[in-house]
Structure 1
Amino acid sequence: MKVRDYDAELKALGDKAKALKAKKVQQLGELVAATGADALDLNVLTGALLSAVQESATPEKLEAWRSEGAAFFQQRGKKPRA
């Protein structure tokens, strides 16, 4: 019977979680740049994001944003790459 090294497994899972979080942060930065939002003042961008996550965002508004986001990515996929 092989003995499991729980400490090593926990460390590996922790390392994987850190890598996934780093990738998510990188992708969010790329998203901000791709949408042109990186040209906004940091406080304006923060306010816009806070507004988007407020409880006052209705399901209809969230669906409209989802549709706009999907259209953005579909349009970007059709552009010729330089």
Structure 2
Amino acid sequence: MRKPRDYDAELKELEEKARALKARKVQQLSELVIATGADSLTAEELAGALVALAETKDAGKREAWAKRGAAFFQGRSRRSAPATDRNAGGAATQSGGAQPASGGAGAA
């Protein structure tokens, strides 16, 4: 006769995996914020930039941001991106915004 499945144990294991994946995602996002220099922004500034990025439907802007992000991950200097990619968000970055990464992180 076949052994019955322990659904409670399987569910608990899946919940633990989901928790671990969520914690990993939070850790990676935190590391990304720090690596881009966006940790110098206030929480409100960062949240506003991310909301603007999430709400943007313009494929051209999103593509420009994606190219800039890919360049960042490839180790190119963040300042070496062409001005057209840097300003593709359509709006100015933070005044006194010496952080070019904040523009790539979603300033629209």
TM over 0.5: yes
Between the aligned partners of 2:17 and 2:71, the Cα distance in structure 1 is 32
User: Any idea what the Cα deviations from partners look like across 1:30-77, whole Å, max 9, x if unmatched?
Assistant: 0000000000121111111111001x331111111111101000016x
Q: In the alignment, residue 64 of structure 1 is paired with which amino acid?
A: A
TM-score by structure 2 length? 0.66
Task: Please say if 1:30 is aligned against 2:31.
Answer: yes
Q: How does 1:8-47 map to 2 (within 5 A)?
A: 8-47=9-48
More helix by share: 1
RMSD between superposed Cα atoms in Å: 1.1
Where structure 1 has 5 or more consecutive residues not aligned to the other structure, the ranges are 77-82
Residue in 2 that maps onto 1:66: 66
Structure-2 residue corresponding to 1:80: none
Higher relative contact order (CA 8 A, sep 6+): 2
Partners of 1:11 and 1:39 lie apart in 2 by 39
Q: TM-score, normalised by structure 1?
A: 0.86
The Cα shift of 1:2 comes to 1.5
**Could you say what secondary structure the match of 1:8 adopts?**
helix
Equivalent residues, number: 75
Q: Which residue of 1 is the match for residue 49 of structure 2? A: 48
One-letter amino acid of the structure 2 residue matched with residue 13 of structure 1: L
1:21 deviates by: 0.3
Amino acid of the structure 2 residue aligned with 1:24: K
SS in structure 2 at match of 1:75: coil
Indicate the percent of aligned positions where both proteins have the same amino acid. 60
